[in-house]
Structures are given as C-alpha cells and as structure tokens.
Structure 1
C-alpha cells in the first residue's frame, strides 16, 4: 500500500459537539488490512469512521498515521451537501431562483482523477445527468455522485459509511467490483450494518458499543466471527404492534373502491419520459413491493400517490375516493397515508423530542403543534417501549443516530394505522438487529386488517411475508 500505515488510536477520546463521545479508543490499522466497523444503532460506528476524516474534537489520547488524502462517503456528508444546495435558495434575491450546482461541477471541480470520474459516471449511468442540478437528483443518484468524488480523489485511505445503501443491483455490483481493484493500493474502512454485504476482501471487524471499541475480530478467527454474527442478528420475538387510537378519526373509505388507481400515468422532465403509460391499482388490504434502478421514477411515482408531485393534475389519478383535480386538498389525501423516506428524515425538525416525533404522526406534521390526548401519549409510549427507547422520550430527535431516527419515523408512520403505509427503503441505515425488527413489524402490519403496504426496496432478500404483489420500474 502507498500510505504510511499503521494508523494508531492510542487511548483516544473524541467529543462530537456534546452530542456523542467516543471513549478511550485503542485501535491499530495495519498494512494489508481492510476493516468493517459494525454495531447497533447509536453505538458510535459512524463517529469512529468520521474521526479518520478529521471529525470531532480530541479530548485526550492520540491519533497517528492518518494519511493526508482521505476519501469519505457518508449519509452525514451527503446530507450536508444537499443542505448547502438548499441554502442557495435562501440566498436568492429579486425572485431569481437558483438552479443549484450542476452535477458536472461537483464531480470535476478540483477532481484529482477526472478520467476515472468520467469512467465511473458512465458506469453509474450518470452521464446523461451531468448538466442537471445536484439538488434534483434522486437519493440514489446523489449517493453515486458522493462515491465518485471519493474514488476519484486519489485517496490514500477510503472511509465508506454504508456505501452500498440506496444503490440498485447493477450499481452495487459495479461498485463492489471497483473496490476489489483497489485492495492492493488503498486501505478501506467501511461502516456496514449488514453482514451479508461484507466484501470478501474485508480482513477485520471492529464492534462498537456505547462509544467504545468493544471487540476487534479477525475474519480468519472463525469462532469469534460467528459469535459476532450471532450478536448482531438478535431478533426480537413476540412483537406486538400498538393499537390505533379509537378517537383518531380517519374517514371511512368505500370498501368497493380501490385505494389508488393510476391510468396511463406519464411522468416526464425536460421532454424525457421517466414513466410512460403506467397502469396500477392498489386494492384495500393489498400489499405491493416496488423496485427499480436509481432514477427509474420510484420516488416520482410515490409522490404522485401522496399528492406532492406537480404532474398530479395532468394524469388520470384516483386516490382514497378522490379523482385528482376535483377540488380536494392535499391534506384530504395525506390523512390516509403513513410515509417513511430518506428525504423525510433529512427534512424532519431536529429539535423535536422522541415522543413528540411519534405523536406528530397522528397529525401528519413535521414537528408537533397540536395538543395530544392522554390515549395518544400512551400509544406513543408503547412505541418507545417497543423500540427500546422507553426511557428516552424527551431526548432530541436530531441527536439520535441515523438508524434510530429511521426507527422513530417508522413508528410515526404506523402510529395512526393508516389505510396505506408507504415505506421507501425502510431498512436503509439500520443494523441487522433493528432491520429484523422492522421487517417483523412490517410483516405483522401486512397480516393485520385495514392497512395496505407499499414497500420500496433494493435488497431482494428483504422480502416481506404477506407481500404478494410486485411492480418493477425500468
């Protein structure tokens, strides 16, 4: 390898804005080693990886040997870039709306290896999007841009926090193949929640818990590796979904009507058709799995159903008893829907307490602005107990780990038992234990009456018992 390894953590304690602290980390990354950092949600996995990229304030101890050029990919870095683009709107004056930074500028400005960036853009199918504003990309497409920037920076160390999440199957295979070509020259440290995603070249696993590096396991140590696998595959049994609030009045729907009926749906941008003449009907108590590569229109299709897409009114759309464009309000539509997505997670107010995040699901609000009943508060407490957060109800949502935030938003979506529950990559960013809990919860919801599920997912192995209908976009 070309770096000055080993990298040494010597009794290192690092503080992250008083939100989290890594305590007394002792760790050494040797030449020819590639590490995965794993652990439960909120354990400190992402924080430990971020230290290698210069994040956090050292309280005590030493960190030595980190090379100058570190290629970083993480949800936090991705969210920061998206937020920076959004702030450009706030700076607009005289009603001139900024188009935002084009993709090609983000990829090639100050790029150390433009030829590689161009090659990866082609392999990731981003070439046709180079002139598009970064803010207009889908979650998966923006993730690909972050990956290309890191890989084309000629890094001496790659730090990849959940690099495979949000990628379609072809992009995932391409990325794994490219990383395989780097193993002799570039050391890698990955944060991964899923054991089935560990690349073959990974040599060691670091297990983090409560801000401490508890275990360091060589992959060649079969016994230790299997024990760690069991630790992270704990499944919660006998889960009970908290009941709905009988006093929360979601209007009754006509049982003879479909929940959703789309006829010859077309979505297009800049004269390019993303979806062309799609017909889809979702009946009550019917469950669907929606799949397709990045940029195939999954998010656009969901926003048509939720009423957030501007092309709702130029299509033949029937949802929850309303023909779109007949004078209905968007809130009349949204009252029938529970929704979870990465975009919602980025937009949700970070100062809201955990209990209030769940309670806001009764009112479809981003934050809680309405007085809740004692019964609703009791239901929220039942969800907190189910998620293992019964003593954390007053903590701040923005201080949670990415995975814990996702769990709270899933509870928020489920709390009112909506006729339609839309789960857009619900397991994104979750460790194995919480992932299994979420999948079990979704199975129970699918088995219950009165709720239909649309489950969007890139991982074919994450199938849900009870979902027997499939739609794939190309």
Structure 2
C-alpha cells in the first residue's frame, strides 16, 4: 500500500489485508472523507487494531485496492508502543563492544522528528513530562511511554491521526486535557479512534465502524486457520436509530453481564436429571398422502444446544409443535418430553411450563400496550400483558434483563412503539425469565434487518453461555449460526 501525496478521501475497495500469518482483514469496503472522524469498535479479536494499522500503511494488501492513504500518519497503539520499547532494548546489545548503552532520552524521542516544536513543548508541560526529558525512554512507566507517543503523534502535524485506545491508563486530569486538545483540532485533522467503550466516545466523532470476527481459510501449509475479521457495519452518528442499535450490539457482545438469576418464588419443579429433555422415536407427520416428517429419531439432552434448519415446507414448525404438544399428531407418535411420555395423562400445561417459546407469530399476538419492563415480567405469568401484581424481586430481575439488553433507559417506554428488533429482544428475555429447561426460538431473525439480526444472535450467544437452559434454535440461513451451538439437525422435504 503506497501512501498518497495529497490528502483526499481514503478508500478501501474489497480489500483483503494480511498481517503475516497471524491475522487477515477480509473484503473491506470503506470510505473515510477528510471531514469525518471515526471510531472503530467491535468484539475482542475482531481486528480493530489491525484495521487501524492498515490505515497507517501496515500490512500486506492481498486483494482489492487501498487508495488515498496520507504520507504523514500519527499512529498511537499498544503495538507501536511495544515496537519502540523493543527497539530501545536492542541497544543493550552494544555492550558486546564494551559500550554501555543508556538508550534514547525522552527529549530526543519527542523532538528529533517533530514538526511543531512549540506544540510539543506545550504538550510536554500539559502531560507533566518536563522533569523526564533527560531520562531514557525505556526507563519510563507504561503510562509515561504512552504520553510520549501521544505528544510525538500530535506534534508531527499528521494528515491523519490514528489513536488506538488513547484513553487507557490516563489519569482523570490527563484524560480531560487530551479530550479537550482533540476537540480543538477536529477542523484540521481527520481522526480515527479505536475504542471498546462507547461511553468514552468524544462528541466530535461523526461515524462508527463495527468489526466482527471472521474465519478465513487456513494458511497454506498450516493446519491452524488464520484468525480474521471483517467490517460488518458503518454507521453515521446522526442516524440515531442505527447508532442505538450498534450501541446495543457492542453492549451484548462485550459486556461482562450474564443472564440474570431466576426468581426463587417462580422456580419450576425439578426434573428427573436421568431423562433427556426431548426424545422423538420414528416420529412421522402426514397429511393425507403428503408426508411432511418421515421417521425422525431425535434426542435432546440437557445442555445440548441444537440448531434446526431446513427449507420452507421441510417440517421445522411441525416438529416444534410435536414437542410443545400443539400438533394433533403428537399423541400418535412416540414422544417423551421432560420425562413425560405423551398420551399418558399429562396436561399440555405440565409440558409448557418447562418451555420458553419465541416466534414471529407470538410477536404478532403481543399487541397490548404495556411497558418494556412489563413485557419481561409477563414471562413469570406466561401471559400477554401483566394482570397480576408483580413482586419487587420480579421487577428487579426485569431491570437486570433490560441492563443486559442495553435498554435500561427504555424500561417505561411502550412495547408497541419499539422497533421490530427491540421487540424481538424483549420477547426472548420474557421467555427466559423463569430459566426454562428448554428455550425454543423459531426463526427469531425472521423479518429483521442485518443489524437487528446481529443483536438477536448476540443475545442467543449470551443465553447459550449459561448452564440452565438448553437452546433449540430454528432457522434456514446457514450464515446465522451461533458459535455456542455445535449440534445441528437439517430437515429435507419429503414430498
């Protein structure tokens, strides 16, 4: 990648960039205009730092094109910091010539390649490094080294400033000073910041790029696949709805919050641990001469998450209704659910209490005007709407679910005023509040745009990370797989 001699828009067109045999960014389509300021964010391991480095001309262009990279790029990152320290440590090798290397002093590190000495002096004072100018660079603390790199980048009059987690490790006063300085130069320097935390995003940021993990083909001659990432979304900060969705996605992908605990007062009866959750033996569904499901054998054990796939008309919903007891042919088949043998006198409600269920049809039915909090609370009562007084503990659990979804501020908003995707997230939380042994998600991504689909998939991943609920996830898009689900059943049409 050859830097441009003029400052213009930066364009990555279907670019694939590799970083030795360690990491690959694939099929990047991205344009940065001179008046834009970007944040790169995403899950751990998705390639945020790699993308920032690519804008500095680092990495090997494997495919596509990269145009408009400026000549002077100010890059501050942990990787660049480590390279500087390593270079300084190598100077110790000079002792083989009976010379004691003192290393490069901070003064030289800052001023030798500085284009704006006055600004450098000002920043040295503001960062509190005046008393360290004659100290060897390699003798500084990690935080002090970071400050030196920031001063070097800012005082070199860069055409593009790239700051990878610039606020990490800074004290409160230094953080405020740096943010104020960045805000003061936004009219003259395009900036790209790598941030994990949305609450650290400066007000001047205009756009957000979200990266997700990718799995490229294995490196030739290597048995281990090269790690990879891809640019999943770019969002204009002025698009409030899209920005909020991206915030929720990052929140679900990176938060340390786990699925809230169940309400002890609403705890379900204990199941026989020796019995599988579901066992279908030679299950067959037929309508006249039309065979829908043909002699299906399927056992779902506790903690064994499944994805059920197949084309339209292959019988996915029919199989689900055999499990829930809603299909008239469930009593003519050999079906055991939660230790109950179908047809031996059990009631449908004895079965349904152990199942959480979410489908597009349920979302159509949930038309009552109630708050987001009450939608989740209704899961304690298996009702559409809340008609029984809820306890303080149930309200607390509902609020914990809202926190997990990044929707605390919308607790009292009407459910029917939310986006289609947010409604789906709340209905999944509603199905989960009692921690059912089996959660059935029937095409949960149906009707969702790409961003909302990623939100729902991220929530399902969170649920699968728990150990109380087994997930049965139904879809027909192979790209919507959940990494925590490693059991798959694919149905084919029998007619």
TM-score (norm 1): 0.50
Map of 2:358 onto structure 1: 340
Looking at structure 1, the residues matched to 410 and 247 of structure 2 have their Cα atoms a distance apart, in angstroms, of 23
Q: 478, 485, 494: which is aligned to 1:460?
A: 478
Q: 1:241, 1:441 within 8 Å by CA — same for their partners in 2? A: no
Quote the RMSD (CA, aligned, Å).
3.0
Q: 1:290, 1:455 within 8 Å by CA — same for their partners in 2? A: yes
Q: 270, 274, 297: which is aligned to 1:252?
A: 270
Q: 2:425, 2:459 within 8 Å by CA — same for their partners in 1? A: no
Looking at structure 1, the residues matched to 238 and 439 of structure 2 have their Cα atoms a distance apart, in angstroms, of 33
- Unaligned segments of structure 1, at least 5 residues: 1-194, 199-203, 215-228
Q: Secondary structure at the match of 1:461?
A: helix
TM-score (norm 2): 0.48
Question: 1:314-325, aligned counterparts within 5 Å?
Answer: 314-325=332-343
The higher radius of gyration belongs to 2
Q: 186, 209, 220: which is aligned to 2:239?
A: 209
Question: 1:26-175, aligned counterparts within 5 Å?
Answer: none
Q: 1:233, 1:432 within 8 Å by CA — same for their partners in 2? A: no
Map of 1:421 onto structure 2: 439
Q: Is 1:439 aligned to 2:457, yes or no?
A: yes
Map of 1:93 onto structure 2: none
Looking at structure 1, the residues matched to 248 and 370 of structure 2 have their Cα atoms a distance apart, in angstroms, of 29
Q: 2:439, 2:472 within 8 Å by CA — same for their partners in 1? A: yes
Question: 1:138-287, aligned counterparts within 5 Å?
Answer: 209-210=239-240, 234=250, 236=252, 237-238=254-255, 239-287=257-305
Q: 2:249, 2:458 within 8 Å by CA — same for their partners in 1? A: no
Map of 2:212 onto structure 1: none
Q: In the superposition, relative to structure 1, how do residues 270 and 346 fare at CA in structure 2: closer, same or farther (>3 Å)?
A: farther
Map of 1:407 onto structure 2: 425
Map of 1:26 onto structure 2: none
* Displacement of 1:430: 3.9
Q: Deviations over 1:272-301 (max 9, x none)?
A: 110011111111111111000011111111
For these two proteins, the number of residue pairs brought into alignment is 260
Q: In the superposition, relative to structure 1, how do residues 382 and 432 fare at CA in structure 2: closer, same or farther (>3 Å)?
A: farther
Q: In the superposition, relative to structure 1, how do residues 434 and 472 fare at CA in structure 2: closer, same or farther (>3 Å)?
A: same
Q: Which runs of 4+ in 1 moved over 6 A?
A: 204-208, 229-233
Looking at structure 2, the residues matched to 301 and 444 of structure 1 have their Cα atoms a distance apart, in angstroms, of 25
Looking at structure 2, the residues matched to 265 and 305 of structure 1 have their Cα atoms a distance apart, in angstroms, of 11
Q: In the superposition, relative to structure 1, how do residues 208 and 424 fare at CA in structure 2: closer, same or farther (>3 Å)?
A: farther
Q: Secondary structure at the match of 1:391?
A: helix
Give the structure, 1 or 2, with the largest relative contact order (CA under 8 Å, sep 6 or more): 1
- Unaligned segments of structure 2, at least 5 residues: 1-230
Q: Secondary structure at the match of 2:426?
A: helix
Q: In the superposition, relative to structure 1, how do residues 458 and 269 fare at CA in structure 2: closer, same or farther (>3 Å)?
A: same
Which deviates more from structure 2 when the two are superposed, residues 290-299 or residues 395-404? 395-404
Q: 1:245, 1:375 within 8 Å by CA — same for their partners in 2? A: yes
Q: In the superposition, relative to structure 1, how do residues 386 and 447 fare at CA in structure 2: closer, same or farther (>3 Å)?
A: closer
* Displacement of 1:433: 4.7
Q: 2:439, 2:470 within 8 Å by CA — same for their partners in 1? A: yes
Looking at structure 2, the residues matched to 300 and 365 of structure 1 have their Cα atoms a distance apart, in angstroms, of 23
